[in-house]
Amino acid sequence: MRVLGIEGTAWAASAAIYDTETNRTTIFTDAYQPESGGIHPREAAEHMREAIPEVVGDARDATDQIDAVAFSRGPGLGPCLRIVGTAARALAGTLDVPLVGVNHMLAHLEIGRHHSGFESPVCLNASGANAHLLGFHNGRYRMLGETMDTGVGNAIDKFTRHVGWSHPGGPKVEAAATDGEYIDLPYVVKGMDFSFSGIMSAAKEAYDDGEALEDICFSLQETIFAMLAEVSERALSLTGSDELVLGGGVGQNHRLQEMLETMCEDRGASFYAPEARFLRDNAAMIAVLGAKMAAVDDTIAIEDSRVRPKFRPDEVGVTWRSTQSPPTHSISDEPQRGAEATVEHVGETMVKTRVPKRYRHPALDERLRRERIRSEARVTSDSRRAGVPTPVLRDVDVPEHRLVFEHVGNADLRDDLTEAHVRDVARSLATLHDVGIVHGDPTTRNVRVEGQTWLIDFGLAYYSDTVEDYAMDLHVFHQSLDGTAEDPEPLATAFEDAYREIGDETAISQLREIEGRGRYQS
């Protein structure tokens, strides 16, 4: 089978031919380059209108056989997507071949899975307008974590525009960072979600205050990419997967690849980053996924092929691969490695040690380990005093980054997901929120069960009187249900019902607002 793929979500007008028999792709791309600032939607659409016919013509000239036409249906800029959709419909109709509508972000993931040979990896997509983690579970890719404000590439571009650099800013930051030294910048992760707005504001302020530009660029990379590596490791820990693939244009950054490879090496996982031409927006990934979909007749009628500018990858029913989910691993008495620490069962206690992270800059690593062990010790005790079941804290050794807890439970909630347990978690979170405590990482790995439930791992916890922060706790738990439960919807309903019993209803309303913000753009 030979599939012609067409990509045009934002800046890259691209067409490609993929031959399933030879596993070869031929790519033709004409990239839009703004004269100043970031991508201008009108200019991008004008470029797409001129360039798409040319690259599609080049692709047609490269083959004497086309068995299907695939196009990027979304997410992306509406005007650009409509031009691509029109071209794909016209070509499929003219050739009388099937039409395949491809989710652009799943194409980033699947090109990595295709070339790596991985069975069921977690995927970190790091692109201009997005940053998120996907894991396959129950026949669908689940959103395990994502940016709470802007995409990683757009965040970096906001800083580079501030200092007067042209688009794209990422390569310029990478070049300047080679001569930089580390300075502290904000670091914000919430479970497997993360935020870049604070670090961008701080970077702009540092520049305005006269900090060396190379130091800011170095620290931006060290901080932002450490956040992405940390949440990727947390996703591996939650899902039990030992495979990670990287997707998206920002994935071309060598420091990001180095961090992810180091993280995976240290936890015994496999890492794969596609070559650069498959990381940046390209039609080859559209053609490859289009071929997989066409092979199982996952095609669309021309009249049903409207584009979807906010087409989330977790909305796609996955037809082209096995429904088998990656295995999970239960806690045993042997030392276990989570995302941040090792935990060893010693007698009637659990000894938790926050281990150094080689992928992080030493100064940042020491800062986070010190802050988190102190937070965990303090908030665990405060939560217990508030009436929330937590392990009794036996000992704290800040210099050694070690905590000793009472041993509780015989399994993680992930391995014993019942409505009763989920309701207990909801009541515990409502109790925490009532006294101004945010857990920060309430996933199904951070709850222990045995008849009752205990909340554990308060390393990301903090104090707040903001409903938005309470709703983020609920959002993080929802995401972990999606990634680990066989049937998450009844559990999510039971969780919210139980939270309402003693919690603030406005937190549920805010949860709906968080879920519906449409942060996901392209």
The count of other CB atoms within 10 Å of the CB of residue 356 is 12
Tell me the three state secondary structure of residue 327: coil
- 3-class SS shares of the chain: helix, strand, coil, % to 5: 45, 20, 35
Tokens representing residue 59 in the block: 């692709």
Tell me the three state secondary structure of residue 19: strand
Q: What are phi and psi of 282, to 5 degrees?
A: -155, 155
User: Which of 19, 104, 100, 11 has the alpha carbon at shortest distance from 59?
Assistant: 19
Tell me the three state secondary structure of residue 450: strand
* Angstrom distance (rounded) from CA 129 to CA 249: 10
The count of other CB atoms within 10 Å of the CB of residue 60 is 16
Residue 440's Cβ-side half-sphere holds a number of Cα atoms within 13 Å equal to 21
Contacts of 131 (CB under 8 A, 6+ apart): 124, 125, 146, 147, 151, 152, 194, 196, 228, 248, 250
Residue of 281, 412, 424, 441 marked catalytic: 441
Contacts of 498 (CB under 8 A, 6+ apart): 422, 423, 424, 426, 427, 430
The count of other CB atoms within 10 Å of the CB of residue 362 is 11
Amino acid at 256: L
Cβ atoms of 132 and 145 within 8 Å: the answer is yes
End-to-end Cα, the chain, rounded Å: 29
Contacts of 116 (CB under 8 A, 6+ apart): 243, 245, 270, 272
Annotated catalytic residue 441: yes
Cβ atoms of 349 and 404 within 8 Å: the answer is yes
Catalytic positions, please?
A: 441
